[in-house]
Structure 1
Amino acid sequence: MTVPGSEGPTRELGTGPEAPTRELGTGPEARTRKLSAVIRGAFADTRPLRVPAYRRLWLAGIVTVIGAQLSVVAVPTQIYELTGSSAYVGLTGLFGLVPLIVFGLWGGAIADVMDRRVLLLLTGSGIAMTSLALWVVAAGGVGNIWIILTLFSVQSAMLAMNQPTRNAVIPRLIPAEQLPAANALNMTVFQTGAIVGPLLAGVLIPVVGLPTLYLLDAIALLATLWATWRLPPVPPQRTGVTAQRHVGFRGVLDGFRYVGMHKVLLVSFLIDVVAMGFGMPRVVFPEMSEKVFGDPPGGGIALGALFAAIPLGMVVAGLFSGWLQRVHRQGVAVTLAICLWGAGVAMFGLTGSLWLAVLFLAIGGAGDMVSSVYRSSMLQRVATDEMRGRMQGVFVVVVAGGPRIADMWHGPAAAGFGPGAAATVGGAAVVVAAIAVVARFPAFWRYRGPVEAS
Structure 2
Amino acid sequence: MSTDPEEPAPRRGRDWRGLFVDLAPLRTSPEFARLWAGSSVAQIGAQLTIVAVGLHIYELTRSTFAVSLVALWALGPMIVAGLVGGVLVDSFDRRRVALLTAIVAWTSIGTMTLIAFLGVSTTWPYYLLAAVNAASATIIGAARGAILPRLLSPQLLPAAAALNGITMGLAVTVGPALAGLLVAGVGFSWTYLVDAVLFSAAFLGILSLPPMVPAGAARAPVLASIAQSLSFLRRAPNVRATFVFDLIAMTLGTPRVVFPAAGALVLGGEAVTVGILTASFAVGSLLSSLLSGPLGRVRRQGRAVTLAIGAFGIFTALFGVVLLVTGAVVGPGGPDGVVMPALVLAGLALAGTGASDNVSAVFRTTILQAAAPDDVRGRMQGLFYVVVAGGPRVGDLVAGAAATLIALWAPALIGGILIAAIMAVLLRTWHGFQRYDALHPVP
TM-score if structure 2 supplies the norm length? 0.90
Map 1:288-327 onto structure 2 (within 5 A).
Answer: 288-295=262-269, 299-327=270-298
* Equivalent in the alignment of 1:38: 15
Measured in 2, the distance between the counterparts of 1:450 and 1:369 equals 22
Map 1:77-156 onto structure 2 (within 5 A).
Answer: 77-142=55-120, 144-156=122-134
**C-alpha RMSD of matched pairs (Å):** 1.6
The correspondence for 1:421, drawn from 398, 410, 413, is: 410
* Equivalent in the alignment of 1:350: 321
- Equivalent residues of 1:267, 1:438 under 8 A apart: no
CA shift at 1:177, angstroms? 0.4
- Equivalent residues of 2:299, 2:437 under 8 A apart: yes
The one-letter code of the counterpart of 2:295 is: L
1:341 aligns with 2:312: yes
CA shift at 1:439, angstroms? 4.2
- Equivalent residues of 2:98, 2:143 under 8 A apart: yes
CA shift at 1:388, angstroms? 0.5
* Equivalent in the alignment of 1:172: 150
CA shift at 1:206, angstroms? 2.2
* Equivalent in the alignment of 1:374: 363
CA shift at 1:143, angstroms? 5.1
- Equivalent residues of 1:109, 1:247 under 8 A apart: no
CA shift at 1:62, angstroms? 2.1
Measured in 1, the distance between the counterparts of 2:317 and 2:311 equals 10
Single out whichever of 214-223 and 104-113 deviates more from structure 2: 214-223
CA shift at 1:111, angstroms? 0.3
CA separation of 1:142/1:364 partners in 2, compared to 1, >3 Å: closer, same or farther?
closer
Measured in 1, the distance between the counterparts of 2:400 and 2:273 equals 19
Q: Secondary structure at the match of 1:45?
A: coil
1:223-245 deviation digits (Å, cap 9, x = unpaired): 1102111111111011xxxx544
1:443 aligns with 2:420: no
* Equivalent in the alignment of 2:393: 404
Measured in 1, the distance between the counterparts of 2:274 and 2:121 equals 32
1:345-396 deviation digits (Å, cap 9, x = unpaired): 0011101311111111111211111100000000001100110100000100
Map 1:99-248 onto structure 2 (within 5 A).
Answer: 99-142=77-120, 144-238=122-216, 244-248=218-222
1:37-81 deviation digits (Å, cap 9, x = unpaired): 421100000000011000001111221111111111111111111
Measured in 1, the distance between the counterparts of 2:391 and 2:425 equals 18
Measured in 2, the distance between the counterparts of 1:413 and 1:131 equals 37
Identity of aligned residues (%): 40
The one-letter code of the counterpart of 1:360 is: A
Measured in 2, the distance between the counterparts of 1:437 and 1:217 equals 43
Q: Secondary structure at the match of 1:144?
A: coil
The correspondence for 1:280, drawn from 254, 273, 280, is: 254
Measured in 1, the distance between the counterparts of 2:300 and 2:218 equals 35
The one-letter code of the counterpart of 2:139 is: M
CA shift at 1:142, angstroms? 3.1
Measured in 1, the distance between the counterparts of 2:86 and 2:429 equals 28
Single out whichever of 219-228 and 112-121 deviates more from structure 2: 219-228
CA separation of 1:438/1:398 partners in 2, compared to 1, >3 Å: closer, same or farther?
farther
- Equivalent residues of 1:113, 1:247 under 8 A apart: no
* Equivalent in the alignment of 2:422: 433
The one-letter code of the counterpart of 1:358 is: G
Gaps of 5+ in 2: 1-10, 327-341
CA shift at 1:326, angstroms? 0.5
* Number of matched pairs: 411
* Equivalent in the alignment of 1:264: 238
The one-letter code of the counterpart of 1:429 is: L
Single out whichever of 426-435 and 369-378 deviates more from structure 2: 426-435
Q: Secondary structure at the match of 1:214?
A: helix
- Equivalent residues of 1:124, 1:162 under 8 A apart: yes
* Equivalent in the alignment of 2:225: 251
Measured in 2, the distance between the counterparts of 1:247 and 1:311 equals 40
Q: Secondary structure at the match of 1:232?
A: coil
- Equivalent residues of 1:106, 1:247 under 8 A apart: no
Measured in 1, the distance between the counterparts of 2:116 and 2:249 equals 38
* Equivalent in the alignment of 1:11: none
Q: Secondary structure at the match of 1:235?
A: coil
CA separation of 1:198/1:129 partners in 2, compared to 1, >3 Å: closer, same or farther?
same
- Equivalent residues of 2:86, 2:381 under 8 A apart: yes
- Equivalent residues of 1:263, 1:441 under 8 A apart: no
Larger Rg: 1
TM-score if structure 1 supplies the norm length? 0.88
- Equivalent residues of 2:146, 2:381 under 8 A apart: yes
1:275-299 deviation digits (Å, cap 9, x = unpaired): 111011101111112222122xxx2
The one-letter code of the counterpart of 1:288 is: A
CA shift at 1:436, angstroms? 3.5
Measured in 2, the distance between the counterparts of 1:301 and 1:152 equals 26
The one-letter code of the counterpart of 2:384 is: F
1:135-166 deviation digits (Å, cap 9, x = unpaired): 01111013511111111122222112111111
* Equivalent in the alignment of 1:8: none
1:257-306 deviation digits (Å, cap 9, x = unpaired): 111101001111000000111011101111112222122xxx23321111
The one-letter code of the counterpart of 1:338 is: I
The one-letter code of the counterpart of 2:89 is: A
Q: Secondary structure at the match of 1:323?
A: helix
CA shift at 1:447, angstroms? 0.5
CA shift at 1:249, angstroms? 1.4
* Equivalent in the alignment of 1:24: none
CA shift at 1:315, angstroms? 0.4
